[in-house]
Structure 1
Amino acid sequence: MRRTFLKVTGSALVGGLIVASGGPAWAATVTQVPAGQAGTIGGFAGVDAVSATDGWAVGGNGNGIVQRFNGTRWSIVASPDLLNGGANSWAFLADVDATSATSAVAVGQSTAASGGEKTAVALRWNGSAWSRQAVPKPAGTDTELTAAKAFSASDAWAVGQTASGGSTFRKTLAVHYNGTTWVTTPTTSPGTRTNFVTGVDGVSGNDVWMAGYSLNLPYGNRFRQSMIQHWNGSAWIQVATPNNGSTFLYDVAAVSASDAWAVGSASNGGAFVIRWNGSAWNTVAAPPLASLNSVAARSGNDVWVAGSDAAGAPALANWNGTSWSVTPVPTGGGTGSVTLGAVALASPSTEWAVGARQDATTGNSSFTAFRIA
């Protein structure tokens, strides 16, 4: 299968926006769009779009931060104080998913200032305000949520991990929102040392995938194994997945009951991509990148991934059904680096990629968003 790596030929500053230039060397046009900033640190971890002119992005700056796109720029929107007036020392929102302009969920975690206990966080947008919702948490446990998928205002999933009594052994965690409360559902935790779930997606409330990785004892072991579980409407079932050396899965995107994609990285091959064909997950051609953090798919012939190249530079890639085309992301020059945390579909011809930029001189970081067209 043909693989095409397209190199940057330049970038230009237009009206305060960094825009990719250089003609046919670009697989897509990437424009950096202004985002709200809060303090000297910050970055996006999740993004979702209602339309080309309305979207949500979440992350943190030591507290949970929510921003909304109004068609021109991203701006910070009032949301609950996850630090609870100082009772918590750190908080972060990891993902957001919206079903309409009046319904969205965001998830993450907060860390207690005393003892460091982690508590999973879920927020809900009702069209006028964000509110915090209770998430089940047995006493003495750490809980955190890393990804969310909403099907309607009364049907949403959030996934992550949990640990008991200060233990380093983490188990998978899945909670379901039924329109009133979040309810924990049983999941499988195959790793004997730790289990991480970092992505969730589905085509219906009875067909949901979550993806991550597991690690087995002994404690010196560094060999991760890919992990995917499927919700069939009544139970989460682990499904066999390929590996290529030590393998991480970071995200999953479902197109239909017989087509889904999961991405990450593998020690024996850099970027790692597997695809569901309705009966099994199989390794498929990956773009020539070092790691993939996120995936979004319109169809089996239009799949977007976000990650980084071998030099650590941010990059996007698109699968057209035959081959991958890779677009480096303009960083605007200067010192520092940009990391992409998530990619999402905004319209039939527009995507969003969000992340963080870190200044190499000061160490400060900032919220960064790119529109792809």
Structure 2
Amino acid sequence: MFLFLPRAATAVAIGLVAVVVAVSPATAGTSNWRDISPPGSEDSVLRDVETAGGATWAIGLRTDATTHPFAPVAMLWTRNGWQAPPQPADQGRLDDLTVYAPDQVWAAGTRNETVDGTEKGHGHALLQHWNGAAWNEVTLPFPEGTDQSALSAVDTDTNGSVWVYGGYADAAGEYFPALFRRNAGGSGQWTLLPADTGLTWVSRLKAVPGGVYAVGDGISRFDGTSWTRQSMPPKLDGAMFDGIAIRATTNEVWAAGYIRDETLGRRPVIVRYDGSSWRAVRTPAETGQLSDITFDGSGRPIAVGESWDPAVSQNGNYVLTPGPRGSLTHDEEPPGAGYLYAAATDSTGRTWTVGGRAGAENGISPSAYAGIRR
């Protein structure tokens, strides 16, 4: 069976000593989160949100008695709220998203194989493209003989080239990673590139000049020819990362995730690359894990995720923002939010976050959640 690895997979137990990295403080006590969750989204969860050129999309999945077991979800924010154009795939899940322009939107995930309405456990890569009017499914050139496949990450670079990461298994069940790139313009053909990241799994990609970063059970960088696993700060070698972003004001690369902690279970982790080395950003010593990170209109970091410690969060959402002294603190809780899986900032400086609504039972959210912060 081709295993789909969820974000925030298991980590190794290890301690954490963080290095202080100063960030510009925000006004104390400000929150300004607004609940804009889509109505009628029961049994759904949103896995990613991205925005560019005035277009904001959120993607995820829903599950009910008819989906065997999942159906993809993709929604566009409009003046009238969220709109969900028809999907080309009636089964599967979407886990990652990139928005380059209103007519250049890509979503990646996995389609479930069914026989006579029964899900058989096999998966096939699911890549979709929004051309400004409709979603269309796109076929990737996996090697001949591929039996199962899946996609976990997609991003576009500043030129509009599309990067997609996933994996496949041959008829014998042997697994291979895969990295595809589609250059902007031209014939639109896909190129299969070296994909040996040095990581066991990849959660997200971030395109940078000359290559791309991958985050998962570590961080790796592709320079257009080969991958180099990045050296983490002391005692962070076991960290798991789910989010990555570029701080536009400084061109720093930041990544967010968690690390196993013998006392807290999981502890939030943020690292930044200043062009020469990766350093840890101090986070609170409390139970929580981070799924994504973005920067607001003033360049301040906002990280989102989840915590199952009721002393930290009654509803499960976990948000870190700069406090009055600049250090990252958990002082904000978006109303109505449960677990949070993604965040993005639009051109006006508003921050968006998505996930599941409060009230989760056994880790399952009752419906999709979306929030916005000014």
Instruction: Give TM-score, length-normalised by structure 1.
Output: 0.76
- 1:145 and 2:138 are equivalent in the alignment: no
Cα distance 1:117–1:371, how it changes in 2: closer, same or farther (>3 A)?
same
SS of the residue corresponding to residue 116 of structure 1 reads strand
Match of 1:241 in 2: 232
SS in structure 2 opposite 1:77?
coil
Q: Which amino acid aligns with 2:111?
A: S
Which residue pairs with 2:247 in the alignment? 255
Q: Please give the secondary structure, in 2, of the residue aligned with 1:127.
A: coil
What does residue 110 of structure 1 align with? 111
Give secondary structure in 2 for the equivalent of 1:267.
Answer: strand
TM-score norm. by structure 2 comes to 0.76
How far is 1:142 from its partner? 3.0
Between the two structures, name the one with larger relative contact order (CA 8 Å, sep ≥ 6). 2
**AA partner of residue 355 (structure 1):** G
Matched, 1:124 2:129: yes
Counterpart residue identity of residue 48, structure 1: E
CA distance in 2, matches of 1:330, 1:166: 47
Q: CA deviation at 1:178?
A: 2.1
Deviation at 1:107, TM superposition (A): 0.9
Q: CA deviation at 1:59?
A: 0.5
| 1:286 corresponds to 2:283 | yes
Runs of 4+ more than 6 Å apart = 361-364
Q: Aligned in 2, Cα 1:107/1:261: closer, same or farther, shift over 3 Å?
A: same
Which residue does the alignment assign to 1:188?
Answer: 196
Offset at 1:252?
Answer: 1.2
Higher strand share: 1
**Corresponding residue SS for 2:225:** coil
Q: Secondary structure at the match of 1:365?
A: coil
Q: Counterpart of 2:33?
A: 30
Structure 2 counterpart of 1:323:
327
Q: Is structure 2 residue 348 aligned with structure 1 residue 345?
A: no
CA distance 1:50–1:189, shift in 2 (3 Å): closer
1:117 partner SS? strand
Q: 2:6 aligns to what? A: none
What is the aligned partner in structure 2 of residue 101 from structure 1?
102
Query: Deviation at 1:113?
Result: 1.7
Letter in 1 for 2:352: W
Secondary structure of the residue that 2:132 maps to in structure 1?
A: coil
**How does 1:7-46 map onto structure 2 within 5 Å?**
26-37=29-40, 40-46=42-48
1:232 matched residue in structure 2: 223
Q: Which runs of 5+ in 2 are unaligned?
A: 1-19, 63-69
Q: Give CA deviations for 1:163-206 in whole Å, capped at 9, x if unaligned.
A: 44575x75543221224133321122536xxx1100111343x1
CA distance in 2 between counterparts of 1:364 and 1:326 reads 22
1:2–1:140 distance in 2 versus 1, CA, 3 Å: closer
- Alignment pair present for 1:79 and 2:87: yes
2:273 counterpart letter in structure 1: W
Residue 370 (structure 2) pairs with residue 372 (structure 1): no
1:270 aligns to 2:272 (yes or no): no
The superposition leaves residues 76-119 of structure 1 with CA deviations (integer Å, 9 ceiling, x where unpaired) of: 12221243xxxxxxx10112111112211111111212542211
1:199 corresponding residue in structure 2: 204
Q: Which amino acid is the alignment partner of residue 278 of structure 1? A: G
Residues 350 and 295 of structure 1: is their aligned pair in 2 closer, same or farther, counting only changes over 3 Å?
Answer: same
CA deviation after TM superposition for structure 1 residue 369, in Å: 0.3
Q: How many residues align?
A: 323
Kindly indicate whether the alpha-carbon contact (under 8 Å) linking 2:296 and 2:351 is maintained by their aligned counterparts in 1: no
**Does the aligned pair in 2 maintain the 1:63–1:82 contact within 8 Å?**
yes
**Inter-CA distance 198–166: structure 2 relative to 1 (3 Å threshold):** farther
Are the equivalent residues in 1 in contact too, given 2:303–2:321 (CA < 8 A)? yes
Bigger shift: residues 58-67 or 72-81: 72-81
1:147 to partner: Cα distance: 2.2
Determine helix, strand or coil for the equivalent of 2:367: strand
Give the CA RMSD over aligned residues. Answer: 3.2
Give the whole-Å Cα distance in 1 for the aligned partners of 2:114 and 2:207. 36
Q: Structure 1 residues 171 and 285 mapped into 2: Cα distance closer, same or farther (>3 Å)? A: farther
In structure 2, what is the Cα distance between the partners aligned to 1:182 and 1:2?
Answer: 40
